[in-house]
Structure 1
Amino acid sequence: MANYVNLVFCLCVSSFFLGLIVLMPVLLVLFASPSSPSFSINIFDDQTLNMTKSDDDSNMTIHFDLKLKNENSAIGLHYPDQLNITFSYFPNVSMIVNLADYKLDSFYQGNGKTRHVRDVVETNSFPRVLDGTDFIAFRVDLVGSYRYKKAGTKRHKVELGCVVGVNVTDNTKMQSGFIKLVEPGLDSKLKKKPPPDYAGAYR
């Protein structure tokens, strides 16, 4: 009986250490080389679009759904600073005009969790079509930082963006659903207000 108990004990100990040997490389990969979070956005979803400016229009409303996903199943994420989301548009290929800014307060995101931020922003002006086209080329930029929930980690800066085109003729989006925010993000050299005599046409 004693020999049987010893045999079972040895088998259990062997299985435990074998399991550690198998899991150790996986755990090392998960903790030593964690993935960056992913960000995507859906604007104008379930919103009646009217991209034709009337004489009474001075601004417009943008409905958006920002999706933030922690791609790590073993590590949580802290967003220690505000996330800044900027909505802009291109009146031409060499200029970008700010429409609205949105700030998301710092928060913690658990292992493998996805968060949706659904909200509305009102623009400070009405966007113009991209010169020579029937499209309004909207730009969404996200700037912020994150750090992994483990000892000794530093902040990682995030600068991502995407372009969303809307046809003013039939009020349809060029891309449907969520659009991933990718690098390069900020078109900082283009961020300037148009001159007062800018002749871009409204549609």
Structure 2
Amino acid sequence: MARGWDWGGLIVCLCFASFFLGLVVLMPVMLSLYGSPSSPSFSIDLFDNQAFNMARAEGSPKNLTIHFHLKLKNENSAIGLHYPDPFKITFSYFPNVSMLVNLAEYKVDSFYQGNGKTKHVSDLVETNGMPTVLEGTDMVAFRVDLVGTYRYKKVGTKRHKVEVGCVVGVNYTTSQKMQTGFIRLAQPGLDSQLKPPSNDDYGAY
């Protein structure tokens, strides 16, 4: 007499095989999402849709209104980000290659950013003076620096400090920008070393 199939045992084996296969497939994906999360990215559009004349005539204002649009993007599709401290944005300019002059500062309050979300900050700031051209050129070389902290929404994670910046060139006579649209804020280059070091209000990380 032939033995019948052990259907119960076969089903159990198939369930275990499916579970194991699922782990094999999902583990690399989960590790890529949670194991090595990405840092947030920042980009800025300076003087967006702003018409102004940089050239100063007699009796003209002694300061400048800077319109800006900042984008802060969480590059992680599976992890939220906390920004526990206010972001500080500094607007400066280069009168020459060895000097950087502060024009204005702006702060973005602390906030939480969901998975893969982008935060937009569009505002204007008044400068404490008028910039001059970069020596030997007809351009004003604006510098934008952003300093702050962020923390992944994971148990036991620490704060990470972010310090990024970019340079935006504007023709002094025509007010035409050398770069259009959003410019990515990257890790500071050699030009950022011209600035005196700021006080570290965040402590150790």
Q: TM-score range by the shorter chain?
A: 0.7 to 0.9
The residue identity in structure 1 corresponding to 2:24 is I
1:76–1:108 Cα contact (<8 Å) kept: yes
Cα separation, 2, equivalents of 1:76 and 1:26: 17
Q: Which residue of 2 aligns with 1:190?
A: 195
1:90–1:96 Cα contact (<8 Å) kept: yes
Cα separation, 1, equivalents of 2:7 and 2:67: 69
1:167 aligns with 2:171: yes
Cα separation, 2, equivalents of 1:139 and 1:48: 20
1:38 aligns with 2:36: no
Q: Which residue of 2 aligns with 1:92?
A: 96
Cα separation, 1, equivalents of 2:118 and 2:11: 43
Q: Which residue of 2 aligns with 1:200?
A: none
1:142 aligns with 2:150: no
Q: Which residue of 2 aligns with 1:25?
A: 28
Q: Given the two structures, how large is their TM-score scaled by the length of structure 1?
A: 0.87
Identity of aligned residues (%): 68
* 1:188 CA drift (Å): 4.8
* 1:26 CA drift (Å): 1.5
The residue identity in structure 2 corresponding to 1:44 is F
Deviations 1:69-96 (A, max 9, x none): 1111111111110100000011111111
Q: Structure 1 runs of 4+ off > 4 angstroms? A: 2-10
- Structure 2 residue matching 1:52: 3-state secondary structure: coil
Highest CA radius of gyration, 1 or 2?
A: 2
1:97–1:191 Cα contact (<8 Å) kept: no
1:16 aligns with 2:19: yes
How many residues align? The count is 192
Q: Given the two structures, how large is their TM-score scaled by the length of structure 2?
A: 0.86
CA root-mean-square deviation: 2.1
2:168–2:178 Cα contact (<8 Å) kept: yes
Structure 1 stretch displaced more, 3-12 or 70-79: 3-12
The residue identity in structure 2 corresponding to 1:114 is T
1:106 aligns with 2:110: yes
2:163–2:187 Cα contact (<8 Å) kept: yes
